Copies of this chain bind each other. A is one copy, B any other.
Amino acid sequence: MTLSFAIAIDAMGGDHAPREVVRGAVEAARLNQDLRILLVGQPDKVRRELEGEDLGSGNPENAGSRSIESRNIYSKNIEIVPAEHVIDMGDSPVEALRKKKGSSIEVATRLVRKGEALAMVSAGNTGACVAAGTLLLGLLPEVRKAGIAVAFHAGRSPVVVIDVGANVSSKPEHLIQYGIMANLYARSVLRIESPRVGLLNIGEEDEKGNSLTKTTHNLFRKTALNFLGNVEGVEIFKGACDVVVCDGFVGNIVLKVSEGLAERLVDLFQVTLEQAGEKNSESSQGIPRQVQSALLNLREKLDYSEYGGAPLLGVNGVMIIAHGRSNAKAIFNAIRVAKRMVEMDVNKHITEEIQALGLGMSR
């Protein structure tokens, strides 16, 4: 029998919350009867979304042993945990956390802190998630900074890029720890046997880059990681390495540029096709079906929702940050990633490896 545990879901976070979040969570609850889903948010709004969903065959009375007064038990493995406030996508993260006490992000994070949930998932304000994770959960022993690890999927196999925005003034030791943490994540969650780690740089030669990458490069050489050396941006799509390490400012720009360009190219291609179809008098019936399905395939391949959320690695607990535009499938997949992070005990391994490394990083 597998271990039963709870995952807290920020039901109010994201552009399509609470509807899509609740749908994704309900699906996860249905397919994982051993999982307890805690939907954190404004109870009436969450309840409204739950109505109409098929909640499976469970009997509420049999639900988890620690049924707390303020919770609403909805089915065998779905509960609502009230949270008064919602941090908006545009809110200033730290300020919002301070002013909007009892927000869904805060309550969900506190459930992890108290051990009532072993993981939390949010598609809400990324900065607020990072702040909540860092402030409320704290960092794992000897971890200096948390980093967001996103898996890119435009290549033949997924490539994990860390950090995409948690820490925009990285020091070399932060980047080394990112490499170690993302390596374990790639191994445990993405099942890549011996992840090849690269340092994102403006050239492959050892001496390339700015002062940050030059120092970091030398430190990486001293680790036991399967370190390939410097890699250029193009490697994120070529598959020569599995983990790409960079400062959060650079990583965030890479993420946004990639999203923007991919969308733009697919649109551009569609327009070009339509124009070609109009000019072509023989086949003026528009875009052939085969091409339409290829376009759809491509959009799906690039779709973040296929691959679940991005873990905030380094915090003392499992926090998965999902894309702001998450639909039900994205939430479902983020919960899958959260579950696997817990089951594979990724944080325990991170702690062990970071402590074992030491690397003279006493500061």
Contacts of A258 on B, CB cut-off 8 Å? 257, 261
Contacts of A253 on B, CB cut-off 8 Å? 200, 202, 232-233, 246, 250, 253-254
Task: Digitize A71-95: 1 where CB-to-B-CB distance is under 8 Å, 0 elsewhere.
Answer: 0000000000000000000101000
B276 adjacent to A260 (CB under 8 Å)? no
Interface centre among A209, A252, A275 (most CB of B within 10 A): A252
B252 adjacent to A202 (CB under 8 Å)? yes
Q: Which of A29-37, A290-298, A305-313, A314-322 contacts B (4 or more CB under 8 A)?
A: A290-298
Please tell me which one of the listed residues B92, B155, B233 contacts residue A257 in the complex, with CB atoms under 8 A apart: B233
What is the CA–CA distance of A9 and B253 in the complex, to the nearest angstrom?
Answer: 35
A309–chain B nearest beta-carbon distance, Å: 18
A273 adjacent to B291 (CB under 8 Å)? yes
Chain A interface main SS type: helix
A161–chain B nearest beta-carbon distance, Å: 10
Residue A262, interface by CB 8 Å:
yes
Nearest residue (CB) in B for A296 is: B272
Please tell me which one of the listed residues B202, B233, B250, B261 contacts residue A237 in the complex, with CB atoms under 8 A apart: B261
Residue A218, interface by CB 8 Å:
no
A206–chain B nearest beta-carbon distance, Å: 11
B294 adjacent to A273 (CB under 8 Å)? yes
Task: Digitize A246-274: 1 where CB-to-B-CB distance is under 8 Å, 0 elsewhere.
Answer: 10111011111111111111101100110
Residue A67, interface by CB 8 Å:
no
Contacts of A249 on B, CB cut-off 8 Å? 202, 209-210, 213, 250
Chain A residues 285-305 with CB under 8 Å of chain B are 288, 290-291, 293-295, 297-298, 301-302
Chain A residues 198-240 with CB under 8 Å of chain B are 200, 202, 205, 207, 209-211, 213, 232-238
What is the CA–CA distance of A363 and B276 in the complex, to the nearest angstrom?
Answer: 56
Please tell me which one of the listed residues B238, B261, B288, B298 contacts residue A269 in the complex, with CB atoms under 8 A apart: B298
Nearest residue (CB) in B for A234 is: B260
What is the CA–CA distance of A154 and B269 in the complex, to the nearest angstrom?
Answer: 11
Nearest residue (CB) in B for A154 is: B264
What is the CA–CA distance of A56 and B291 in the complex, to the nearest angstrom?
Answer: 46
Contacts of A211 on B, CB cut-off 8 Å? 169
Residue A277, interface by CB 8 Å:
yes
A312–chain B nearest beta-carbon distance, Å: 16
Known A-B contacts: A261-B261, A291-B291. Give 20 more (CB < 8 A).
A154-B265, A168-B210, A169-B211, A202-B253, A232-B253, A232-B256, A233-B253, A233-B255, A234-B256, A237-B261, A237-B263, A253-B254, A258-B261, A265-B302, A269-B295, A269-B298, A272-B297, A272-B298, A275-B294, A288-B288
